[in-house]
Structure 1
C-alpha cells in the first residue's frame, strides 16, 4: 500500500511542470462562461433545474469526451517523450503498480474536473442573479441533483476513460488517441438515437440524462464495471510490454 501511495505521489508530482493542470481548469471555466453568456442574452434556461440539466448535457455529450481525450494523451506524452519510460519503469515498484498509479491519477483528475463542472454551472447561475437579476433563473439551486449527475457521469465515463488511457499509453504517437477520441465523439452523434447507444463508451455519460430509468441504469453499470475491468487489464498488459 505504501509503495502504491508513493507511486501515486510520483505521478502527481510530474503534473506540476505540464499543461495537465491548465487543461483541468479549462472545461469548468469555458462551460461557466457559456452559461453566463447564454443566460444574459435571454436565450438560456428559465429554471435552475433546466440550467443544471443543460450544463450537464453539454459536459457529458461533448466536453467530457474531448477533455478525457486530451487529458490521457497529454499525460501519456510525459512518458513517451524524453525517455520518460526509462525513468518510470526502473523505480522500486512493480510495473503493474506504476500503471495502476497512473490510472488512479487519471481517474482522480476526471473526478476533479467533473466536480469543477458542477460547481461552475451553479456558480454561473448565482453570478447572473447578482449582475442581472431580471435574467436570473427561477426556482431553487439543485445542489443535490447536480452532484448526483456529476458523480454518475464520472462513473459512466470510466469505460471511455479506460479505453483512452490504454490507447494513449500503448501508442507513442500523440495523434492516435486524439483521432480515436474525436472519432468517438463523431460516431456518438450518429449512435445517439440507436438502441445500442447505451453500450457505446462515448455515449454512456450522457445516458445519465435518459428519460428511461432502465437505460440510465444500464449505461451506469456498463460504464463503471466496464471501466474497472478495462483499467485492470490495461495495467497488467502495459506492465508486461517491452518498453525498450
Structure 2
C-alpha cells in the first residue's frame, strides 16, 4: 500500500526496460543472429551497471518513505516492532529486485521480437528458458547487495550514505571485476553468474602475475 504513489514501482519498470532499449539501439548496427547473443548483451549491461544503481535508488526510496516523514520514531516505539518492520522492508526490497529481473526477461523477449521478428524455429524458446534461469540466479546473487544497501538506508536518516555506498560499490566493482578477490565482492555477484571459462582463466592468470615470486 505504501508503494502506491511512490516512484519505486516506476523505477522497477524503467530500469530494466531502459537496458533493453539501449541494447536494442546498439544491436541495430550489429549482426545479432540469436536471442542468446541479444540476451547476453542485455544481461551484461544490467548486471554491471544498471542493477547496482537500481538497487541503490530502490533502497533510498523505500527507506525515505519513513525517514522523510519521521515515521520510524512512532513505528519503532511499539514493542517488538523493530525486527518485524525491518524484515518487512528487506522483504519488499528483495521482491522488487526479483520483479525487476522478471521485467528484464520479458523486455528482452519483446526487444528480440522487435529486432528480428518471430523466428521460424523454436530454438529461441530454449534460449529464453536458459536466459530466464540465468536471470533468476543473478537475482538471487544480488540479495546480499540488497541487504547491505537497505541496511545502510535504514540506519541513516539521510539519503547520502546509501547513495555513497552504492556509488563506491559500483566503482570498486569496476576495478575489481578481473581480480581473483572480485568473486567475494557483493556488487560483482551478478556478474560472476555470467562468468565463462575464459574469464575465469584471465582472472587466474592475472592473479598469478601479481603473486610475489620466491
The TM-score range, normalised by the shorter chain, is 0.7 to 0.9
Q: 1:73 to 1:191 in 2, by over 3 A?
A: same
Equivalent pairs counted in the alignment come to 196
Give the match's secondary structure for 1:210: coil
Q: Which deviates further from its counterpart, 43-52 or 16-25?
A: 43-52
| Structural mapping, 1:99-178, within 5 Å | 99-130=86-117, 140-141=124-125, 142-178=127-163
Query: Is residue 187 of structure 1 aligned with residue 175 of structure 2?
Result: no
- Choose which of 81, 85, 90 in structure 2 pairs with 1:98: 85
Provide the rounded CA distance (Å) in 2 between the counterparts of 1:86 and 1:96: 14
Task: Give the conservation status (yes or no) of the 8 Å contact 2:75–2:81.
Answer: no
Query: Is residue 64 of structure 1 aligned with residue 35 of structure 2?
Result: no
Note the residue ranges of structure 1 that are not aligned, 5 or more in a row.
1-12, 216-244
Normalization by structure 2: what TM-score? 0.84
Calculate the aligned-residue CA RMSD, in Å. Answer: 2.2
The aligned counterpart of 1:47 is 34
Task: Give the conservation status (yes or no) of the 8 Å contact 2:36–2:128.
Answer: no
Provide the rounded CA distance (Å) in 2 between the counterparts of 1:72 and 1:45: 35
Normalization by structure 1: what TM-score? 0.74
Q: Measure how far apart 1:93 and its partner are.
A: 5.8
Give the match's secondary structure for 2:3: helix
Note the residue ranges of structure 2 that are not aligned, 5 or more in a row.
201-214
Deviations 1:143-178 (A, max 9, x none): 211111111001111111110010010011111111
